[in-house]
Amino acid sequence: MLNESNYFSIENNKKYMGSTQFKGFMSECESGTLAQIEGRYVRKSTPDMLKGSYVHNHFSNTLDLFKAQNPEIYKADKCSLLKKFEDLGMLVQRIERDSFFMHHLSGEKEVIQTGEIEGVPFKIKIDSLHKDFVCDIKIMADFKYMWKDGLKIHFIEFYGYNYQAAIYQEISRQNNNGVRLSFVIAAATKEKEPNLELFEIPQQQLDFCLDVVKQNAPIYANIKLGLIEPTRCGSCDYCKSTKKLTKIIDYTEVGEL
């Protein structure tokens, strides 16, 4: 039985696919993602990641657990945030001043659900579950478009949140008598003056993303089972940390390392 304490355990990460796993296999590095799933590699937390987690845990009513797991961002009194994290208080206050934003965060919190997509077991944990929609909070640097593969795209597509939305909608549908819920991203920025926005992803795009998930989830499941050899991207921290040199290379014959 999945619960808050074992949701991210190695055993359940191996048993279930999640949206973060899927995005890792698809857009980052298959070898690095597999190593994280199996507990052979732990990605280091950055200040930006900790800031996002702090706000997420604040509105999920799980801040005490976050404090216990991340004491390094607090002063000696274990209550006050270090100076470089003090802006989080202002961000939380800004969010709490917006009643419409807060409404979307007011649903049932941290709801764990499971299901299958193309025979692959999936797990999701919903930030805020309402009767007619699912809401997920995201903390961003800003809302500017980002560059990927020579294209300027929205941060939702850059970070693969559209695929997360498709997975969440499908698994929640399976747990909601076949009723599809819309997926809303409640986004806030870490700018000096925080910006807030509520984004909904069009159903047409969710349908497209779900088709991609259906095509690729069985492949990634077989990688987890050891039936397919994962590819190495060669540039992520995991690949760099496990890189083994076998020859001397001519620097004029290679591109960016």
How crowded is residue 121: how many other Cβ atoms within 10 Å of its Cβ?
14
Q: Write down the architecture of domain 10-44+98-253 according to CATH.
A: Alpha-Beta Complex (3.90)
pLDDT at 80 over 90: no
pLDDT at site 68: 84
The pairing of strands 133-140 and 182-189 is parallel
24-78 pLDDT per residue, tens: 999 999 999 999 999 999 988 888 888 999 999 999 988 888 888 888 888 877 6
pLDDT in tens, 196-243: 999 999 999 999 999 999 999 999 999 999 999 999 999 999 999 999
* 83 touches 76 (CB < 8 A): no
Percentage of the chain beyond pLDDT 70 is 98
Q: Which amino acid is at 84?
A: K
Tell me what the pLDDT averaged over the chain comes to: 94
d(CA 199, CA 243): 40
- In the structure, what pLDDT confidence band is assigned to residue 257 with cuts at 50, 70 and 90? low
Report the pLDDT value the prediction gives residue 66, as an integer from 0 to 100: 85
Please, is 175 exposed, middle or buried when counting C-beta atoms within 10 Å of its C-beta (0-12, 13-18, 19+)?
A: middle
State residue 255's pLDDT score: 63
Of 93, 26, 12, 44, residue with least CA distance to 233:
26
Structure tokens at 123: 């797990």
Do 143 and 197 contact (CB within 8 A), yes or no?
A: yes
Number of residues that make up the chain: 257
pLDDT per position as a tens digit, 90-119: 999 999 999 999 999 999 999 999 999 999
Residue 196 has what pLDDT?
98
